[in-house]
Amino acid sequence: MKKRIVVVGNGMVGHKFIDNLVNHADADQYQVITFSEEPRLAYDRVQLSKYFSGSTAEDLMLTSTDYYNEKGVQYILSDKVIDLDFDNKEIITASGRREAYDKLILATGSFPFVPPIPGNNGEHCLVYRTIEDLERITASAQQSKIGVVVGGGLLGLEAAAALKAAGLETHVVEFAPRLMAVQLDEGGGKLLRRKIESIGVRVHTQKATNEIVAGTESRYRMNFADGSHLETDMILFSAGIRPQDELARKCGIGLGERGGIVVDNNCQTTVKDVYAIGECALWNNRIYGLVAPGYQMAKVALSHINGGNDQFTGADMSTKLKLLGVDVASVGDAHGNTPGSLSYTYSNDVEEVYKRIIVSADNKKLLGAVLVGDVEAYGTLQSMCVNGMDLPEDPNCLILPNVEGGGAAIGVDALPESACVCSCYDVSKGAICCAVQDGARTMGDIKAITKASTGCGGCSALTKQVMDSELKKLGVEVSNHICEHFPHSRQELADIVRIKQIKTFDELLDTHGHGLGCDICKPAVGSILAGFWNEYVLDKKHIGLQDTNDIFLGNMQKDGTYSIVPRIAGGEITPEKLIVLGEVAKEYKLYTKITGGQRIDLFGAQLHQLPAIWKKLVDAGFETGHAYGKSLRTVKSCVGSTWCRYGVLDSVGMAVILENRYKGVRSPHKMKFAVSGCTRECAEAQSKDFGVIATETGWSLYVCGNGGMRPRHADLFATGLDDVTLIKYIDRVMMFYIRTADRLQRTSVWMENMEGGLDYLKKVVIDDKLGLCAELEEQMNYNISQYQCEWKTTVENEELQKRFKHFINSEAKDENLAYVVEREQIRPATALERKNSTIQFVELVD
């Protein structure tokens, strides 16, 4: 018989336990049943604030009913477990349901602590914990002008960001003398405060709230112990969490003095066969309010059930995060509580950077660190601290600017194999080295195989160093040369072309390459030249560079014929144009299909027919759709605010603007866009290279998403943008991509391989860290000014059309073409059909 495992609570940690179990080798020996009092399965509470920048409850989900069904996990939602019967080994729910268990896992999590202040139960006094809370906050914010967050800790500041995003005048009230008192020291807290105040959040420290009463100008008035007061329309309590131990308390499971279910190193409670994991568990008199230790406990409990010997022995509480746009990190003993500890501090008021490291009394080991404003060193410092590595000779190099990477200073070779490099996914140095030994060669490979640096991304620099070092050890020379004809990467070639103003392939081959070139470097250089100078791609100078599809401005199909794809910007088309497409397709017997990019493909055009067909289309006002190019394909859109009852902004209008702006821009690979008119996201913008979503406060820009073979959710790049800023950011990101990506590298892979990742891209594009923005914009404007419809140019010039025939010396057609009818349209005959003499082939149009 299968062992029955009951998991009470389907939060992040409860789900993690289940996910580990159902993917375990012995999964078929267990039947899993999970209960949640919330109306949905586990979602990502760490990312809750994304709800305010466009993500939906759906986006935050960590699992799905489909997944649980597939894995045979029984789930019961909106039914709270209220009693336990240890004698019969059963649980009892509010609805009276009883389920037997062999092993019981309590993953009940925590609840927000609301300080016992008179008046704390008003309608607009809320907490920040669940998706339902977020819905309440959104509703309340719509009826409020001013919002106060009580609590200046990590969660409090996230809540403040949410209120700010909702457009409220935002205040943070904190009892302690500084923000994030647990993680930051005085210097760090001070700088964080300054930065947060500079973006308009008012911070009030050392304030104890005595009571909340009716306000005179706003809904409420908070009276503080020092006699001062503050008026506000809503109050969010974020003053810490308390373990949800109600069930355990009722049933007599051992608790700590101040709550929390006591567990041992196996995560076992005081009752046999009952485990507790996550924020409800108290280990060594300590509650861990972060998700990573919770995941560790999930692993330990499962190991114990399976007879393994993993132990929970405490967890590293280091964190790195971005709060209200400010980078903050805290490592180990950030306060220097260790007796005799010493510290090094770097503080720069101009660039607003604060870094402090705490070292042991003998100046040999790193004990902790605080970083505000620049957290690049986090990965190195955290790893050094957790693994007890020796400090470099001059510890200053770990925090001083412009010292070649702290990581280099200590050298990754000094890390033991077991050293944890990625704490989000618990990936060791050894695992990364193994992946390299098994053939991984790029950061993209490492991420796909080990998951390292796919969580918070804080370890990306360290991961890359480990990978590079291992590659070097294996004697693998990582050549980034594009092919045998150029000893350069695509990025280097792009720099050469741009800086030396090279205009042709031959010029580049003469000066920087050798041989004749090939089908790798020719199209790549063709793309670079077009990306910067945007000349007619079929000009004599460039024609030999064009790949299969570009060379005849159409997509070659399996039988050598072409498809015809006119641009239908934003998917918007008039009836008149629709009729023209139908008439042309009919006249030439073309197979007609709607594409995923909201336009219409006409298939089966022979080479010699292309100019005549395009002449008709151009005359009717169509332009080429560049379906053949490594360039902008389409900007998909939903119908938006002009028609839709839910639309917030005019998504079609923006899609048309974007498509017309970037049409014809050649890039390292194709680029897809989408614009959604509200956060329902009907245009699926988060799966595109550039995705734009309308919100109440303006456009949200997402970058580097991908559908297709390797789907990647786009990263949220910026929010609350007006039209001009949106376009400015897209200009910059796109031109930076054109300059720096590898050949045929989609934006998603480009992002995954970018050192520093999203934060770095933001620094370049938003903060202008490299001083490049003006140049990027200028380059993009030049490129756009050179736009031409390649088909218009071609049909207006007879000389250019000469090439469009199958034979140079005959009007005959390619006799290899054969079509049959299927569903009332043509399709190429199969090899078998071709051999069958009884089959009637479709007569081709001349």
Q: Do 376 and 332 meet the contact criterion of CB atoms below 8 Å apart?
A: no
DSSP state of 67: H
Nearest approach, Cβ of 840 to another protein (angstroms)? 22
Q: What are phi and psi of 365, to 5 degrees?
A: -125, 150
Letter string b/e over residues 486-515, b meaning 16 or more CB atoms within 10 A of that residue's CB: bebbbbebbebbbeeebebbeebbeebbee
Nearer to another protein, 398 or 551 (CB): 551
Which residue(s) pair with 276 in the sheet? 106
Chain residues 556-615 in contact with another protein, contact rule CB under 8 A: 556, 558-560
C-beta of 553: minimal distance to another protein in Å? Answer: 12
499 or 832, CB closer to another protein? Answer: 832
Closest among 35, 40, 39, 45 to 12, alpha carbons compared? 45
Nearer to another protein, 380 or 745 (CB): 745
Smaller CB distance to another protein: residue 130 or 606?
Answer: 606
List Cβ neighbours of 843 (8 Å cut-off, separation of 6 or more): none
Q: How far is the CB of 540 from another protein (least distance, A)?
A: 6
Q: How crowded is residue 293: how many other Cβ atoms within 10 Å of its Cβ?
A: 24
Shortest reach from residue 68's CB to another protein, in Å: 42
Rounded CA-CA distance 832/171 in Å is 74
- Residue 4's nearest CA partner among 107, 98, 82, 109 is 98
CA gap 72, 78 in Å, rounded? 19
Closest CB to another protein among 25 and 812? 812
Site string for another protein, 622-661 (x = CB under 8 A): ----------------------------------------
Tell me if residue 105 falls in helix, strand or coil: strand
Q: Where are the alpha helices (DSSP H) in 120-233?
A: 131-141, 154-165, 186-198
Structural tokens at position 123: 């309608």
Residues 825-844 touching another protein, rule: CB under 8 A, are 831
Residue (of 319, 297, 300) closest to 308 by Cα position: 300
| Cross-sheet strand order for the sheet of 90-93 | 81-85, 90-93, 98-100
Give min distance, CB of 524 to another protein, in A: 11
CB 238 within 8 A of CB 121: no
Cβ partners under 8 Å of residue 534, min gap 6 = 664, 665, 666, 782, 783, 786, 787
What is the smallest separation between the CB atom of 622 and another protein, expressed in angstroms?
Answer: 24
Tell me the residue type at 742.
D
Residues 373-412 within binding reach of another protein (CB under 8 A): none
Residue 248 or 508 with smaller CB distance to another protein: 508
Token pair belonging to 440: 């991984």
- The CB-side HSE value for 747 (13 A sphere, CA atoms) comes to 32
| Pick 140 or 606: Cβ nearer another protein | 606
Give min distance, CB of 808 to another protein, in A: 4
Residue 490's closest CA among 528, 452, 462? 528
Judge contact between 180 and 153, C-beta under 8 A.
yes
Strand, helix or coil at 275? strand
Q: How far is the CB of 182 from another protein (least distance, A)?
A: 58
Query: How near is the Cβ of 530 to another protein at its closest, in Å?
Result: 16
Rounded-to-10 torsion of CA 296, 297, 298, 303: 90
The site map against another protein for 167-206 (x = CB under 8 A) is ----------------------------------------
Minimum CB–partner distance for residue 819 and another protein (Å): 14
Contacts to another protein from residues 522-541, by CB under 8 A: 522-523, 540
Binders of another protein: how many residues, by CB under 8 A? 35
Stretch of 75-83, 95-103, 150-158, 521-529 contacting another protein, by CB under 8 A: 521-529
Q: Which residues pair with 282 in a beta bridge?
A: 262, 287
Strand blocks (E) in 233-294: 234-237, 241-243, 261-263, 274-276, 281-283, 286-287
Of residues 238 and 549, the one with the C-beta less far from another protein: 549
Q: Based on the number of CB atoms within 10 Å of its own CB, is 288 exposed (0-12), middle (13-18) or buried (19 or more)?
A: buried
**What phi, psi does 710 have (nearest 5°)?**
-120, 85
User: Binding residue for another protein (CB under 8 A) from 519, 587, 778, 846?
Assistant: 519
Q: Least distance to another protein from the beta carbon of 811, Å?
A: 10
Near another protein by CB under 8 A, which window of 14-22, 167-175, 237-245, 519-527?
519-527
User: Which CB atom, from 558 or from 823, has the smaller least distance to another protein?
Assistant: 558
**By the rule CB under 8 A, 784 interacts with another protein:** no
- Closest distance to another protein from the beta carbon of 518 (Å): 3
Kindly tell me which of 406 and 554 has the beta carbon lying closer to another protein.
554
* Cβ-based neighbour number of residue 525 at 10 Å: 28
Q: By C-beta, is 1 or 831 nearer to another protein? A: 831
Interface with another protein (CB under 8 A), residue from 88, 309, 816, 837: 816
Residue 70 or 510 having the CB closest to another protein: 510
**CB of residue 490 to another protein, shortest distance in Å:** 17
- Residue 810 Cβ, how far from another protein at the closest point, in Å? 4
C-beta of 12: minimal distance to another protein in Å? 46
Where are any strands of DSSP class E within 774-824?
Answer: 819-822
Of 279, 283, 309, give the one whose Cα is nearest residue 294. 279
Backbone angles phi, psi at 765, to 5 degrees: -90, -40
Name which of 630, 616, 618, 667 is nearest 789 in CA terms.
618
Q: Tell me the pairing of strands 3-8 and 30-35.
A: parallel
Task: Closer to another protein by CB, 540 or 645: give it.
Answer: 540
Mask: binding to another protein, 794-813, rule CB under 8 A, as x and -? --------xx--xxxxx-x-
Which residues in the 540-559 window bind another protein by CB under 8 A?
Answer: 540, 543-548, 551-552, 556, 558-559
Strands (E) across 748-843 are located at 819-822, 825-828
Residue 30 or 505: the one with the smaller Cβ distance to another protein is 505
Q: Which is nearer to another protein, 479 or 809 (CB)?
A: 809
C-beta of 793: minimal distance to another protein in Å? 16
The structure tokens 């055009």 sit at: 605
Smallest separation (angstroms) from another protein to the CB of 609 = 15
Nearest to another protein of 296, 606 (CB atom) = 606
Amino acid at 243: P
Q: Looking only at residues 459 through 518 of this chain, which bind another protein when binding is defined by CB under 8 A?
A: 484-485, 506, 515-518
Q: How far apart are the C-alpha atoms of 148 and 160, rounded to whole Å?
A: 8
List CB contacts of 162: < 8 A, sequence separation 6 or more.
49, 51, 52, 128, 134, 137
Q: Which of 211, 352, 814, 833 binds another protein (CB under 8 A)?
A: 814
What is the closest distance, in whole angstroms, from the C-beta atom of residue 614 to another protein in the complex? 18
Task: Please say which residue, 316 or 559, places its beta carbon nearer to another protein.
Answer: 559
Cα 284–Cα 287–Cα 290 angle in degrees, nearest 5: 130
Q: How far apart are the C-alpha atoms of 674 and 652, rounded to whole Å?
A: 10
| Cβ proximity to another protein, 9 vs 523, nearer residue | 523
List contacts with another protein (CB under 8 A).
484-485, 506, 515-519, 521-523, 540, 543-548, 551-552, 556, 558-560, 802-803, 806-810, 812, 814, 816, 831
